[in-house]
Amino acid sequence: MAKLNQIIAVEKGVKSKVQQDLAGVHHGLTKPALLAGISRTYQPKDEEGEQLPPESTRVQVKAEDVLRESAKTLTRLFDVTATKDWANRTASADVTVDGQPLLRDVPVAYLLFLEKQLGELGAFLRKLPVLDAAESWTLDGSTDWWRTDVVRTVRTKKVPRNHVKAEATEKHPAQVEVYYEDIPVGYWTTVKFSGALPARRVNELLERIEKLQQAVKFAREEANGMEVTDQRVGDAIFGYLFS
C-alpha cells in the first residue's frame, strides 16, 4: 500500500507523461490522409485494352483506436489524482509547538493554506518598524506610545559685537570688526514619541512564527505519510464515455 506523500510525488510525473502520450496519440487525428484508405481496380474496356494493376492505401489511424488509447493513458492520471484527493479527505495531523498541540486533526488542505499564509505573515513581520536603538525608550501609560527621556537643550541667539582692531586717530577713523556671539535666550525641553516596536518584541514575534511554520511543515509531512487506498475511477469514467 502506498503512502500519500508517494502519490503526491508521482502525480506531477504522471501528468507530464500523460500530456506527452496524448499529444502522440492525437497527432494522427490532425492528418486526414492517415485516416483515409482506398482500394481501386482497373478493367479495360475490351480485352485488347491496357491492363493496370490495382491500387490501395491502408487506413493508418482509426479514431476508435485513438479513443481507446486516450482512455488508457488518462485512466492512470485519473486514478492517481483520485487516490490523492480521496486520501486528502481523511489525512490530518496535529500542529504541535514546544511539545503542546496548538491545533488538532488539521486536514492537509488547511495545513497547505496555513503554510502559505504564515510565509506571507513572516514577510510582513520582518518589515515592522523598530525603535531607534540610539535612544532610551519607555512606554508612556497615558498615550500608549513609546517615549524618550526628557532632553533639555539651550536656545541661543546671535548677537552682534564690535571688536576694535585700531583706535581712531586724528587722521584715521577707528578700525572696527563686527562679529556675532551666541547668547543663551531660552531652553528647549524635548520628548520624542514613537509607535514603532522594540527590537526585542519583533524578534520574539519572528521566533514564534518560525516555530509555528516548522510545526505546520512537520504536521503536513506526518499527514502525508498516511497510507492510502488506491482508487480506480478511470475505468468507470471512460467505460461510460467511450462505450
108 shares a domain with 44:
no
DSSP assignment, residue 45?
Answer: S
- d(CA 80, CA 94) in angstroms, rounded, equals 26
Q: Give the three-class secondary structure for 51.
A: coil
Look at residue 132 in the predicted model and tell me its pLDDT.
93
DSSP assignment, residue 29?
Answer: G
104 shares a domain with 181:
no
205 shares a domain with 116:
yes
**Mean pLDDT lowest among 2-6, 127-131, 180-184, 225-229:** 2-6
DSSP assignment, residue 197?
Answer: B
Assigned domain for 81 exists: yes
126 shares a domain with 77:
no
- Is pLDDT above 90 for 165? no
Adjacent-strand bridge partners of 182: 158
Q: Is residue 59 within 8 Å of residue 74, measured between CB atoms? A: no
219 shares a domain with 133:
yes
pTM: 0.67
- Is pLDDT above 90 for 168? no
Neighbours of 201 (CB within 10 A): 13
C-alpha cell at 99: 511539545
Q: Is residue 184 within 8 Å of residue 156, measured between CB atoms? A: yes
pLDDT confidence of 215, banded at 50, 70, 90?
very high
158 shares a domain with 77:
no
DSSP assignment, residue 28?
Answer: G
Portion of the chain with pLDDT greater than 90, in percent: 40
Q: What angle do CA 106, 108, 114 make, to 5 degrees?
A: 75
Assigned domain for 145 exists: no
85 shares a domain with 113:
no
Look at residue 9 in the predicted model and tell me its pLDDT.
84
Q: What is the mean pLDDT of residues 32-40?
A: 79
- Is pLDDT above 90 for 218? yes
Hey, which bits of 51-111 come out as E strands? 55-57, 92-97, 100-107
87 shares a domain with 100:
no
> Longest C-alpha distance within the chain, in Å?
158
- d(CA 149, CA 135) in angstroms, rounded, equals 9
Look at residue 48 in the predicted model and tell me its pLDDT.
78
Q: What is the mean pLDDT of residues 205-228?
A: 93
- Is pLDDT above 70 for 242? yes
Assigned domain for 215 exists: yes
**With b meaning 16 or more CB within 10 Å and e meaning fewer, what string describes 172-200?**
eeeeeeeeeeeeeeeeeeeeeebeebeee
Q: What is the mean pLDDT of residues 15-44?
A: 81
Look at residue 1 in the predicted model and tell me its pLDDT.
65
85 shares a domain with 28:
yes
9 shares a domain with 43:
yes
Instruction: Specify the number of domains making up the chain.
Output: 3
Q: What is the mean pLDDT of residues 75-97?
A: 90
Q: Look up the domain containing 180 and give its range.
A: 150-190
**What's the pLDDT tens digit per position in 137-148?**
999 998 899 999
Q: What is the mean pLDDT of residues 36-50?
A: 81
The residue assigned the cell 504564515 is 118
120 shares a domain with 71:
no
- d(CA 223, CA 31) in angstroms, rounded, equals 48
Q: What is the mean pLDDT of residues 2-26?
A: 84
